[in-house]
Structure 1
Amino acid sequence: MKEQLQARLQQLTIELSDSFDVVKRHLQIEGHDAILLFLSSLSDSQLISNLVEGLTITATNHVELTFYPGSVEKVKDPKKAVINMLSGQCLVLLDSSQYYFCIETRHYPSRSNAEPSVERSVRGAHDGFVENVILNVGLIRRRIRDPRLSVIMHKEGVKTRTDVAYVYIKHLVDPDVLSDFETRMKQLSETEILSERNLVEQLYGKTLNPYPHVRYTERPDICAIHLLQGYLVALVDNAPTAVILPTTFFEQTKQIEEYTQTTIVASFTRILRLIGILFSLYLLPLWIALVIDQNPTMLHLPMKNVHLFTFGFQIILADIVVEWIRQSLIHTPTILSSIMSFIAVFVLGDMAIELGAYTKEILIMVALCNIGNLLTPSYELSLANKVFRIFIGALALFFGQTGFCFGVFLHIVVLMSTKTIKFPYLYPLIPFSYKECSRILFGSPIRVNKARKK
């Protein structure tokens, strides 16, 4: 091996710690010296074999050394070359060149792209994003075969060097949204990026507002639809969730079923879903206010001799028990999940009512509100709605109808003050747009901006 090539290898070795999966291979073909440096844990052995075969064939036929079948990047900075190698690429050093050749040989461990458990569909596609950003980009390209589809890749973080890709369609994407996102990416501090939530916090800052400033989804078909509508999609390696921006409150209430049903059925289910989301927010606090102020309702529920603290404790207990059951179902192993149905019968059934833990009326109201939460397509939006439902319910418990009205007013103020890119959070309701409201309730969910098609 030539001394110059040996010195370059030594320089790279200093940058790397001792690891079993760091593989170094020295090749000598027809008087040419080459060194292959790669990670066995992140590289495809078949692609490495094809690479060596390509070098051998071209050298023995007295042709300039050719790398195939992967893409090749010629790098001069040794630190950047090491980062590419740690991402799964094969690093090739030649005695006849001062450059570092980064060959695409990545093969990340990944699970199957099954349908997301939180965004299921009856008629829609049954695939979903995984923790491999390359596969996720492929799932989007499979749906949009437009040459103007742009995928820009960045590496963020000092130690993680996580791949962050953002996707958009030229001439369709909103230029203000794209410009704002790219500016924020350039100003991104040297903070480690491990998930899509981590990325959003670094781009837009942390806030006490529980409402999501972007939309999260694990469905590639949802991303494809939004790209056609001029949105921007961000993907983070090691995270199966995509970030769609900009977003609004009503954008978060859309479900994949709207895109797979007829217009009448889609509009009908959309309106029912919005009513259910409204119930999940205000039904329980409104009922609490009516009970506290001794106002009759159409339900003819008993309201006499209501003890404030007992009534409040029963409602809080019922809501907490439902939340406990929800969280336990998420974290319980599948083989033990059937046991939760028996537990739910005991803590929410007739036995709990007979023991005086809560009344039937309280269970009915809590159940209706939680059904509304489950109707909400966005998991983050449903949790934020639950937080404000508890807050408004507490105000109604202590101050009656006055507290309820003040809580609703404060909730609307928070929604109006929620900052997003380009659009107000309550758009098209505030500011009101008849055309956009009609499209949300009755119009076609897929709308491509015709003015930007060319």
Structure 2
Amino acid sequence: MKKPIKLNNLKENTKESIEKITEEALKEISLDEDLEKNIQILEKIFQHCDDVNKKTLHIEGNKKGIIFFLSGITDEKSIVNFIINPLLKNEGVVLEKIKGNPRYIEEYLLVNHSVEKISDLYGGVIGVLEGKALLLIDGYSTGYTIEVREYPTRDVQEPITQTLVRGPREGFTEGIKDNLALIRKRIKTPDLKIEKKEIGHLTKTSVAICYIQNLVDPKVLEEVKVRLDKIKIDAILDSSTIEQLIEDSSFSPFPQIGNTERPDAAVSALIEGRVCIVVDGSPFVLIVPQVLVDMLHITEDYYERFYFSTAIRLLRYLAFGLSLLGPSLYVAITTFHHEMIPTKLLVSIAAARQGIPFPAFLEALMMEIAFEALREAGVRLPKPIGQAVSIVGALVIGEAAVQAGLVSQIMVIVVAGTGIASFTVPAFNIGIAIRLLKIPILLLSSVLGLFGVSIAVIAISIHLSTLRSFGVPYLSPIAPLTLQDNKDVILRGPVWWINQRPTYIAKNNVVKLKSGGEMKPQKPQAEEEKDVQKTS
């Protein structure tokens, strides 16, 4: 390890030498006892950075100090109350105290804030850019960075993309401290570990790895850390960038990493033994590993009674298949397999298609493209206008297309039905995969009929069976089949029945309920007394 270079060894008096100092060189340059030399090079580094402010202090008459801070993300009242005022009030003794005890400032003087001692220019520059205040005093080769950050943040609000009828209304924000606090609020155990990293050469984005120590699979945790350490990039602006850099198969349309805006969903994943990745500046927390069935489950499934949740979950699976194969099945059957349609229905379809100039494939393709265009327009436009465009546009275009004889009424019903079905898929990223795969399946059905649909389904199944999410098979627990884990896949059993964590996720401490067996519902006391009387 190289020793820090003294400023005296630099040709700091020449303008050219200071301009050539890079960020890497700053790591090797130590602070000098001469405050003016430190100020000279810091002013050159922060040249044209008008949001970097400095405040000069005169301590004990002939001693000088200076504070550098960044306006906008620092609390200037804290700088005055907890840094400047204590220094000036103790000006007669502060320097002597520092000589006798180098930790005097952080231990006695600036006790209200987190203080870190630095000895190199790099630590001071990065501290200022992170929103800390940098304190330098003439005659001392050490400086102090004081925690005074006050980022502009959004208040905790209800999530927009993952709404619930029943359940907590809190959602993650763009601040990593707020997001970690929302997780800590729900998990009160020292086993919840949070490890922070900085990723991004320019942005130096804070990334936190969250896991519960005695539940997480050590291999998965180690793989997460290794993949994050391998990221070499200039900027991380959102968690989606990290998702694309660490997922197993980037060319697959199916997402292998989950994301959520809901703290309760993230906590539920942690309790199951998963790892959460919290990225500063993003309200979406990443969850690994993630399998296909997780994309079709929502946290509200566990807030409602299991009868209702099971029925809704079955509807969701049915809608998932319909949104993927609905138009393709219609085109295949009406084009190649008329014998499968009841006679009266076949006559109705033939009458509706009479005069339509396009084959069923082109008819379906045009309607699908129009529907996707309207959906995209509704998302991108301002909210009040977007809703009007998506609803009115669908009605007007659909009615006009039917009256013009370009499409049949039955095709409008099929495309609208599959569109509605796609909205029932809770995870937006898996919905995108369905929308992409729908077109090639439609093409195969127009050429090969149901045989083409079968080929597409088999190809997708083979692809899904080869996918992994941090080593976990993507079709778990269906393939490979685990009967114990299937208690909570298609059917949602009672809470006391689901007494184990998914074994394909949690390798240790699998049992959830530790009350001497399953927590079965208890009978009312009056019924128990009747049973005792009958027995006696």
TM-score, length-scaled by structure 1? 0.91
Match of 1:337 in 2: 386
Structure number with the bigger relative contact order (C-alpha 8 A, sep ≥ 6) is: 1
- Residue among 149, 167, 171 paired with 1:128: 171
* Match for residue 366 of structure 2 among 317, 323, 337: 317
User: Using the alignment, how far apart are the partners of 1:60 and 1:261 within structure 2?
Assistant: 67
* Match for residue 98 of structure 1 among 120, 123, 141: 141
Q: 1:10 aligns with which of 12, 36, 40?
A: 40
Q: Structure 1 residues 387, 95: closer, same or farther in 2, change over 3 A?
A: same
Residue 509 of structure 2 aligns with an amino acid whose one-letter code is A
The whole-number CA distance in structure 1 between the counterparts of 2:225 and 2:323 is 37
3-state SS of 1:295 partner = helix
Between the aligned partners of 2:288 and 2:330, the Cα distance in structure 1 is: 36
Letter of the structure 1 residue corresponding to residue 296 of structure 2:
T
8 Å CA contact retained: 1:152, 1:167 = yes
1:404-449 Cα deviation digits (max 9, x unpaired): 1111111112212223113111111111111112222223489666
Q: Deviations over 1:261-304 (max 9, x none)?
A: 12222222222212211221223222222112123336924555
For the pair 1:451 / 2:509, whether they are aligned, the reply is: yes
- Tell me which of 23, 34, 58 is aligned to 2:65: 34
User: Does structure 1 retain, via aligned residues, the 8 Å contact 2:69–2:133?
Assistant: yes
| 1:51-450 aligned within 5 A | 51-52=82-83, 53-56=85-88, 64-65=104-105, 66-95=109-138, 97-204=140-247, 207-293=250-336, 294-297=338-341, 300-301=345-346, 302=348, 304=350, 310-340=359-389, 341-349=391-399, 351-440=400-489, 441-443=491-493, 444=495
Runs of 5+ consecutive residues of structure 1 not aligned to the other structure: none
Work out the CA distance in 1 between the residues paired with 2:393 and 2:372.
13
Whole-angstrom CA distance in 2 between matches of 1:239 and 1:87 = 17
Instruction: Go from structure 1 to structure 2 and tell me whether the alpha carbon gap of 1:75 and 1:3 turns closer, same or farther (over 3 Å shift).
Output: closer
Deviates more, 1:67-76 or 1:114-123: 67-76
Q: In structure 2, how many angstroms separate the alpha carbons of the residues matched to 1:41 and 1:230?
A: 39
Give 1:95 shift. Answer: 4.1
Inter-CA distance 388–95: structure 2 relative to 1 (3 Å threshold): same
Unaligned regions of 5+ residues in structure 2, if any?
A: 1-31, 98-103, 515-536
Give the direction of change, closer, same or farther, for the CA distance of 1:270–1:73 in structure 2 (3 Å limit).
Answer: farther
Deviates most, 373-382 or 77-86: 77-86
CA RMSD of aligned residues (A): 2.7
Query: Which of 66, 71, 76 is equivalent to 1:45?
Result: 76
2: CA distance, partners of 1:13 / 1:447: 60
SS of aligned partner of 2:345: coil
Q: Secondary structure at the match of 1:375?
A: coil
Deviations 1:169-225 (A, max 9, x none): 221222111100111122222442222121122224772211112001111111111
2:55 equivalent in structure 1:
25
Cα-to-partner distance string for 1:29-79 (whole Å, 9 max, x where unaligned): 446643221111111223323322344456567663222423233333422
Residues of 2 paired with 1:175 and 1:233: CA distance?
14
Q: CA deviation at 1:7?
A: 1.8
- Higher mean displacement: 329-338 or 404-413: 329-338
Partners of 1:118 and 1:266 in 2: how far apart?
20
Shift in alpha-carbon separation, 1:206–1:407, aligned structure 2, 3 A:
closer
Q: Per the alignment, do residues 417 and 205 of structure 1 end up closer, same or farther by CA in structure 2, a change over 3 Å counting?
A: closer
CA distance in 1, matches of 2:387, 2:322: 29
CA contact (8 A) 2:380 2:386 kept: no
Closer/same/farther in 2, CA of residues 156 and 136 from structure 1, 3 Å limit? same
Of 201-210 and 112-121, more deviation after overlay is shown by 201-210
Q: Is the CA contact 1:228–1:447 (under 8 Å) kept in the aligned structure 2?
A: no
Q: Which moved more, 1:77-86 or 1:404-413?
A: 77-86
1:439 maps to amino acid = D
